[in-house]
Amino acid sequence: MASTHNLQASRLFSVKDYVCVVTGGGSGIGLMAAQALAANGAKVYITSRRQEVLENAVKSHDPKGTGGQIIALSPYDVTKKTDLEKMFEELSKKEKYINLLVAAAGISSGKAEPDADKATEMKAKLWDNETFEDWANTYNTDVSSVYFTTVVLLPLLQAGTETHGHLSASVIVISSMSGIMRHAQGHFSYNAAKGGTVHLTKLMSAEFQQLSVRVNSIAPGYFPSEMTAKESDENQKSHVPDEKIQEKGHVPQGRAGHDEEMAQAVLFLTKNAYVNGEIIAVDGGVLNVVAGR
């Protein structure tokens, strides 16, 4: 039985003394997650493929006065097992355990709109604008890399549960509302890959609970990132104008998601050890408008 005092938000969602790793942590949703964790006391290691992005993120978002830290690891390509092994080795030299992995590295794919009424035209639009290589690259980054990143860090995650309590260590997979809806959005390969990410989350949550490691996923809607805005500013932040979201016609909230809204989801899944195998859509209500599966 908890006292009322113990139900304060500052207690419920404190991650003081947590050690976290965020892939794709130099920008977009990965950086939002890193900031949220560091702001609430965690030591957060971020990695991505670009050294300058990591350095700029650390410099621009130092969580002074919070007790947390954002620390750049070496740059790694999460689609390469050799890089993932090196990442594990680097982390193992610095830490005895980690409490959280946020798998936020991901890419989109080329657009091929299925908007023709005649099959010959539909074939041309899709056949001529997509390749097996593009599909494989999207799948490798958005699905396979999530799996291998999680697997390589399992020993450190299990050690985190041993220090902080049963099923306290976890993985948060950043999937997408695109992996839940039936609308292709002009990129079959990305939506199919994110559907794979969603199901991978469920598979890993069931199989890795024997190690006392939870796995959940956040399925974001439109959040500012290099994927949605095509660029980042000098602070590694992106901006999506409200008008761009409103013209889509299927976002009840009428705007892109805010950093704070992603932070709330990250902290909830990090701290609630009674949640495992869940896909949390943070999408501004899109899936109430666009058909899900």
The residue-averaged pLDDT of 218-237 equals: 71
What pLDDT is recorded for position 82?
98
Q: Among 247, 282, 93, 73, which Cα is nearest to 172's?
A: 282
Residue 11's pLDDT band (cuts 50, 70, 90) = very high
Active-site residue, 190 included: yes
Max mean pLDDT among 107-116, 176-185, 199-208 falls in 199-208
pLDDT for 68-124, tens place per residue? 999 999 999 999 999 999 999 999 999 999 999 999 999 887 788 888 899 999 999
H or E stretch including 9? Answer: helix 9-12
Residue 65 has pLDDT above 90, yes or no: no
Residue of 45, 139, 178, 194 marked catalytic: 194
Count of residues making up the chain: 293
Residue of 48, 168, 175, 205 marked catalytic: 175
Residue 32 has pLDDT above 80, yes or no: yes
Contact 198, 179 (CB under 8 A): yes
Query: What pTM value is reported for the model?
Result: 0.93
Q: What percent of the chain has pLDDT over 70?
A: 95
What pLDDT is recorded for position 111?
81
pLDDT for 127-148, tens place per residue? 999 999 999 999 999 999 999 9
pLDDT higher for 214 or 63?
214
pLDDT for 236-280, tens place per residue? 656 777 888 888 888 888 999 999 999 999 999 999 999 999 999
Residue 188's pLDDT band (cuts 50, 70, 90) = very high
CB atoms within 10 A of CB 30: 26
What pLDDT is recorded for position 66?
87
CA pair distance 238, 245, nearest whole angstrom: 14
63 alpha carbon, distance to own chain's centre: 20
Residue of 190, 222, 225, 232 marked catalytic: 190
Residue 126's pLDDT band (cuts 50, 70, 90) = very high
CA pair distance 35, 49, nearest whole angstrom: 19
How would you label 92-104 residue by residue, b for 16+ Cβ within 10 Å and e otherwise?
A: eeebebbbbbbbb
Active-site residue, 145 included: no
Active-site residue, 194 included: yes
Residue 231 has pLDDT above 60, yes or no: no
| Token pair belonging to 232 | 């980042």
Sheet (strand 43-47) strand order: 69-72, 43-47, 19-23, 100-103, 170-174, 214-220, 279-282
> Which residue in the block uniquely carries the two structure tokens 């990305």?
190
What pLDDT is recorded for position 240?
76
H or E stretch including 279? Answer: strand 279-282
